[in-house]
Amino acid sequence: MHHSRRVVAALHERHPHLSFDCTTKVELILRHRDVWADFADAGCRFVVSAFETVDDHVLEILDKGHTRADMAEATAVLRSHGIEVRPSLLPFTPWTTLASLVELMDFVADHDLIGNVDPVHYSIRLLVPEDSLLVDHPAMGPHLGRYVADQLGYEWSSADPRTDELQVRVAAVVERAAAVDQPLATTFAEVDALVRAAAGMEPRHTPIDADVAARAQSRPRLTEAWFCCAEPTEMQRRPLGER
């Protein structure tokens, strides 16, 4: 972290009007919380961090090194210095439940992250490549299928097949939304409604107001949605000429 501070300080000295972002783990945001004031002063506008899910059981299987509570704290730590977090998500895993998906959408809304999450993240499905440590994980055993070379990963089945059906519907919504540059709050509301309906719940009682929607659109971001450790989206599977 000492080296990072020196690099950031030198960058800001040479290019004082340049802004930047960085990518780091939730646990490191909290462990090195003393650096963020300096980073903010030097032009750091957002931090990409792999939140993945709000289900602590799944986070433990994935060996993420953080909890749901840590994610909330990291968001608050960064915001105290004027830096936004941009979470990457991994909602669909073999252990995903409909209840955990509802909780994920609630977390995004409750922590004012609608403008911080690229909608494609709501549809991300776990990729299990050939040498993944998950292949030999006891929790993966009941769900692991065959290795498919042209997909560069293993097939796997969900504990709750309803989540697979929901993933397909969510993916269709976010792909269509991206194609027409739909406002983030509108896409969130559509995905949220799908998730809550799949879980047999009523629509969200508090609609997204105009202030939240406007704030969502103004949040700093990359020009292209960033995600990793995930199966390709349907758009990415298509030949270039068909996109």
- The pLDDT assigned to 234 comes to 66
Residue at token pair 């792909």? 175
Residue 74 inside a domain? The answer is: yes
Report if residue 206 sits inside a domain.
Answer: yes
| Mean pLDDT, residues 15-24 | 96
Q: What is the pLDDT of residue 210?
A: 83
Least confident window among 79-83, 90-94, 142-146, 203-207: 203-207
Mean pLDDT of 142-167: 96
pLDDT-based confidence at residue 101 (cuts at 50, 70, 90) = very high
- How many Å apart are CA 240 and CA 243, to the nearest integer? 6
How much is the pLDDT for 239?
A: 61
Q: Is residue 239 part of a domain?
A: no
Q: Is 157 inside any structural domain?
A: yes
Distance CA(182)–CA(107), nearest Å, equals 22
- Kindly tell me if the per-residue pLDDT of 231 is higher than 90: no
DSSP conformation class of 226 = -
| Range in 1-15, 115-129, 183-197 the model is least confident about | 1-15
Q: Stretch 13-37: mean pLDDT, rounded?
A: 97
Whether the predicted pLDDT of 240 surpasses 60 = no
Enumerate long-range contacts of 72-79, CB under 8 Å, 24 or more apart.
72/107, 72/111, 73/30, 74/26, 74/29, 74/30, 74/49, 75/111, 75/113, 77/29, 77/30, 77/33, 77/36, 78/29, 78/36, 78/47
Structure tokens at 96: 């995903």
Domain holding 121, by residue range, is 2-228
pLDDT of residue 18: 96
User: Stretch 87-99: mean pLDDT, rounded?
Assistant: 98
Indicate whether 18 belongs to any domain: yes
**DSSP string covering 125-178, please?**
BB---TT-GGGG-TTTTTTEEEEEGGGTEEEE--SSHHHHHHHHHHHHHHHHHH
Token pair 């802004």 is found at 19
Instruction: Give the whole-angstrom CA distance, residue 97 versus residue 91.
Output: 9
**20-23/44-52 β-pairing:** parallel
Residue 185's alpha-carbon distances to 39, 133, 167, 169, 234, in angstroms, are 29, 36, 19, 18, 23
The structural domain count of the chain equals 1
- With respect to residue 238, please indicate whether it lies within any of the assigned structural domains: no
* Per-residue confidence (pLDDT) for residue 229, from 0 to 100: 58
> What does the pLDDT look like over 27-67, one tens digit per residue?
999 999 999 999 999 999 999 999 999 999 999 999 999 99
Q: Summarize the confidence of residues 133-141 as an average pLDDT.
A: 97
pTM above threshold 0.85: yes
